[in-house]
Chains A and B, each alone.
Chain A
Amino acid sequence: MQTIYLLIVLAPLLGAVLAGVFGRQLDRTAAHWVTSLGVGISCLLSLYVFKHIVIDGAASFNGTVYTWMISDGVHFEIGFLIDKLSAMMMVVVSFVSLMVHIYTIGYMRDDPGYKRFFSYISLFTFAMLMLVMSNNFMQLFFGWEAVGLISYLLIGFWYKKETAIYANLKAFLVNRVGDFGFLLGIAAVLMYFGTLDYAQVFSNASILNDQTIDIIGGQSWSVATLICILLFIGAMGKSAQVPLHVWLPDSMEGPTPISALIHAATMVTAGIFMVARMSPLFELSETALTFVMVIGATTALFMGLLGLVQNDIKRVIAYSTLSQLGYMTVALGASAYAAGIFHLMTHAFFKALLFLAAGSVIIAMHHEQDMRKMGGLRKYMPITWFTSLMGSLALIGTPGFSGFFSKDSIIEAVGQSSLPGSTYAYVAVVLSVFVTALYTFRMYFLVFHGKERMDEHTRAHLRESPLVVTLPLIGLAIPSVVIGYFFVGSMAFGHFFGDAIFVLPQHDVLAKLSHEYHGPGAMMLHSILTLPFWLALSGVVTAWYLYIKRTDIPETLCRRWSFVYHIMLDKFGFDRFNEIFFAGGGRVLGKILWKVGDVFLIDMLVVNGSAYTMGWFSGMMRRIQTGYLYTYAFAMIIGLMALLAIFVL
């Protein structure tokens, strides 16, 4: 099996290297063939592993492939931990990636950076697989940073576009903040456990009980809380949780396939995956869990609200992604890790679908992304329309669709949680059901229904996208609709993940819920009697009323509530705050350090001073090196005398 695991990660890497390094020797067709084949092999083998581990119930695999070095007893290794959690993630990652590869063939057809693009996305697949398959913190960090790097490269893929460069820099910097916390967390793990291996850390997790550490100010902190919050800060950066979410909407400057692959389906879920993987640690600290839950709930509600005022089709989906990531985070905080991961999976399919559908619309509209200039596209693009509708229904949690099962289990689980902050979280996630339905169907109606607001030229060229584009849409639409139905029983309420996820009995909200669970059909029937269903329905109706029936109302609302509207347009001021406080403050601090520290202390005293000293010294040595034999012999004798004087006399 180890060969298969190796093959799964190496196949995309090989594709990336071939397309990237030997790009000049390959033509465009060859470039997309090698990369797609590599990812295709990965996907097939992942499915095989999934069958092997999950369906046949084989034991999970935990082994080291290569030891890089051993320093002070700490092993730095590359190894795989393949259990049900990673097997599922591997399938999601490689399947979505394969769909995106195929889609890209159509979407990027005329782009000059075609081969570079394929090389990047294959490389991304490699890094993401390394991340999810890792059995130790170092490899996790490697994958973590590698996906971050590739995300940076891809957001700035059109590197001549000013906004893209701004966005990728922003994403990179914000992620550094998160990674800083993450790295500290890993360092703390190493400090207390003396190892980076998951299995060893988790089996000894209990040694953290009641341990405290003094941080500046003499405050005593529980070590478990500290480690978990630090690790979670990493997750906040990568999974774009408030307040480190600011990079994700801007990342939409990258090509659409990237938004689908990296900024919706896979990379941003790395944080969720990581927390679920670390469940044995997080379970030790209720403080950390509360922290996670509150952050998640805030993200879920408030980022969803921002989706209401966006006009760029991709940005609406981006805010929706933020909000859904918030849902997953809430689930983690409520110790319903399985539900969080379940939502991660369903979300990966329907969100990738929505993004790719948006991309299809954008192609048809000649790269126009403003929804106010669309409308009535339903009759021009039937496949895109239908798959979008499926994705939207899944997103808002229509009973029967995949999103319903995962989202509903999260809401129920939060309702059961008894941690501090769970009431707030419950209110937030329930309210955001309405918000989700509203912004999703606002987008849907604005794009596919209503008046055709585009200009004549665009309208004349409107047509359905080619097969390479629509095929992935269909490929993603099917799981978006059905996958929840099949997996809800085992994944959310059953023992799908087995030992991969650890929950303390007193936290186990999903176990409580599972007593009331009587199959997916009953769950659907029951939901009609619950608040979320009616909130979602009213969201859809409101959207229909505002954007189809009485299109004048939104404008009136904006005028009458202009204060609120502007706060929302300003994204609650996060960007402005960061720009003034962090960027501005950073510049002021930098200037001080530059003037005093760099120019004066370092340049003048240290660098020029030391360079001057060095120059003087080497000049002197050169003078001593006269080239005359007797000087050399003399130096030897002096040296001998000196040594004799020191060591004998």
Chain B
Amino acid sequence: MNFEMPNFLLALPEIFVLGMACLLLLIDLFLKDQDRHLTYLFSLFTLVLVAVLTVYGYSGERQISFNGAYVADGMSQVLKLGVYFAVFVVFVYAKDYLRDRGIFKGEFYLLGLFGMLGMMIMISAHSLLTLYLGLELLSLSMYAMVAMQRDSARASEAAMKYFVLGAIASGMLLYGMSMIYGATGTLDLSGIASQAATADKTLMAFGLVFLLVGVAFKLGAVPFHMWLPDVYEGAPTAVTLYIGSAPKIAAFALLARLLGDGLINLHDQWQGILIILAVLSMAVGNIVAIAQTNLKRMLAYSTISHAGFLLLGILTGTRSGFSSSMFYALSYVLMALGGFGMIMLISRKGFEGDKLDDFKGLNKRSPWYAFMMLILMFSMAGVPPFLGFWAKLSVLEEVVASGMIWLAVVGVVFSIIGVFYYLRIIKLMYFDEPASEEELECSADMRLMISANALMVLGIGLFPGALMAACAAAFSTT
């Protein structure tokens, strides 16, 4: 076995995050509770620095290192920056919420950073092993985060469910990987791609199904979605925000790496599976969301339906299809951040603003934030000129381009059904009488961030070209 020195410089962002997280672990030990905001600032600082490292460390071409286990390419750059941004926003939104509930501890930020490291590894993975490693690092961090509010029965229950089901899903994923390894004899994604044509068909198909079940679980696609509403509702909103945003980008990366880089030759087989998952997800997500009275739960079902849409682009198996899904994932994360952020804006000490009724008459209490929520909801519903419209449009365009018009029609029909529950929130905000007249209380950074968040949804919606071009470029080099 020849051993070559890996190019450490390539993985500098990951190494940096790991180092900083370990440093934070040490620092946090010596901090008193009233100085905890230093942890917060340190985490934000880490995120900014790693973003700088990522931008300036990238040579502009696809490079593979660590014996083919690690890849840096256009897609990994864009997705990582998306992840940093999402985690940054999560940290800012979470501060007040955690402090009000007495869980403003270093653990949240630590686990958040470790989870992010997992996502980064997933995004840059070029072998089944690295993929799995990143995925588990992310999952374990998230299980712990859900359980962070120890004395809450709901949170513990949610964490337990999440952990057990997640373990089953990981098992299936690993089983699928082992079969693919058995059929092709390699863990390297490009090796798999070149071997796939000659490998045993049945074994590959078995492996593929198990693999996709594992991925579908992480993505929350029907029928592997059942953990999602319970976990979203049970976890503290700050954690829900984390789970509901950045990992979606990582899940997209997981799919793109596995299916795009590794198993693209089996496209005929996985396309059918993804069609089933996508249609079921759009149907169940949109229809069941109508019956929800809890906003977190409603957004959980909305996530499921968006996962269905995300799959639509991928299942075309074309480069432009992948890039449209990537655009969808990034757009969705931006909207989800805002949506959960609004719940945290409404919440106060001892009050969870996660019921639909809590949004009644928001326009009377605060016209500006009602307007921000309006932007977010319209965008999620896919109303032009907001970002969500372009996301849906680009995915549907790809579906039509690959000749599956019926599937596009199904997508449109379900998203029209979905419009109902987004509009209901707007109706509650603007046409109903408020239940309480209390002023919204939150800190300036939160206010600023949520306004910026919603305005970005509008702004990118008006000028979607740049982000779309970035997504298209990410897939033109590979």
A residues sitting closer than 8 Å to B (CB atoms) are 67, 69, 614-615, 617-619, 621-622, 624-625, 627, 629, 631-633, 635-636, 638-640, 643-644, 646-648
Contact = CB atoms under 8 A, between A and B. Distances in A.
Given A614-B417, A625-B229, A633-B165, A643 B212 contact: yes
B417 A636 contact: no
B15 interface: no
B224 interface: yes
Contacts of B161: 629, 632
B213 interface: yes
Given A629-B160, A636-B165, A639-B223, A647 B209 contact: yes
Given A632-B165, A636-B224, A621 B287 contact: yes
Contact of B291 (A618, A632, A646): A618
Interface string B219-240: 0000110110110000000000
Contact of B287 (A614, A640, A646, A648): A614
Given A636-B217, A643-B276, A648-B205, A614 B290 contact: yes
Interface in B288-336: 288, 290-291
Given A632-B226, A644-B209, A648-B206, A621 B284 contact: yes
B229 A640 contact: no
A631 B210 CA distance: 20
Given A614-B287, A614-B417, A621-B288, A643 B169 contact: no
B12 interface: no
Given A636-B168, A643-B276, A648-B202, A627 B213 contact: no
A629 B159 CA distance: 11
B273 interface: yes
Contacts of A646: 272-273, 276
Interface footprint category on B = 35 or more
B269 interface: yes
Q: Which of A67, A622, A632, A635 has the most CB of B within 10 A?
A: A632
Contacts of B212: 643
A627 B209 contact: no
A364 B168 CA distance: 87
B410 interface: no
Given A636-B217, A647-B208, 13 more contacts: A615-B291, A621-B291, A622-B288, A627-B230, A633-B165, A636-B169, A636-B213, A636-B224, A638-B223, A639-B224, A643-B212, A647-B209, A647-B272
B53 interface: no
B172 A640 contact: yes
Contacts of A615: 291
B164 interface: yes
30 contacts: A67-B465, A617-B287, A618-B291, A625-B230, A627-B230, A629-B161, A631-B226, A632-B165, A632-B227, A633-B164, A633-B165, A635-B226, A636-B168, A636-B169, A636-B213, A636-B217, A636-B223, A636-B224, A639-B213, A639-B216, A639-B224, A640-B172, A640-B209, A640-B213, A643-B273, A644-B206, A646-B273, A646-B276, A647-B205, A647-B269
B270 to A, nearest CB: 9
A285 B73 CA distance: 58
Contacts of A625: 226, 229-230
A614 B291 CA distance: 9
Given A618-B288, A640-B210, A629 B224 contact: no
Given A632-B226, A636-B224, A643-B273, A619 B213 contact: no
Interface of B: 160-161, 164-165, 168-169, 172, 202, 205-206, 208-210, 212-213, 216-217, 223-224, 226-227, 229-230, 269, 272-273, 276, 284, 287-288, 290-291, 417, 464-465
A54 B223 CA distance: 70
A646 B277 CA distance: 13
A635 B202 contact: no
Majority-rule SS of B interface residues: helix
B209 A633 contact: no
Which 8 A-B pairs give the minimum distances between C-beta atoms?
A639-B223, A618-B291, A632-B226, A648-B205, A621-B288, A618-B288, A643-B209, A640-B213
A629 B287 contact: no
Majority-rule SS of A interface residues: helix
A90 B213 CA distance: 64
A618 B168 CA distance: 26
Contacts of A614: 287, 290, 417
A635 B208 CA distance: 19
Contacts of A621: 284, 287-288, 291
A299 B226 CA distance: 69
Contacts of B165: 629, 632-633, 636
Q: Which of B209, B212, B269, B290 has the most CB of A within 10 A?
A: B209
A571 to B, nearest CB: 42
Nearest to B390: A69
Contact of A622 (B164, B169, B208, B291): B291
Q: Which of A67, A615, A633 has the most CB of B within 10 A?
A: A633
Nearest to B417: A614
Contacts of B213: 636, 639-640, 643
Contacts of A635: 223-224, 226
A635 B229 CA distance: 15
A618 B172 contact: no
B438 to A, nearest CB: 24
A633 B160 contact: no
A631 B230 CA distance: 13
B276 to A, nearest CB: 7
Contacts of B216: 639
A119 to B, nearest CB: 19
A635 B217 CA distance: 11
B172 A629 contact: no
Contacts of B290: 614, 618
A639 B465 CA distance: 39
Contacts of B209: 640, 643-644, 647-648
Contacts of B208: 647
Q: Which of A619, A629, A643 has the most CB of B within 10 A?
A: A643
Contacts of A67: 465
Nearest to B204: A648
A168 B27 CA distance: 70
B250 to A, nearest CB: 21
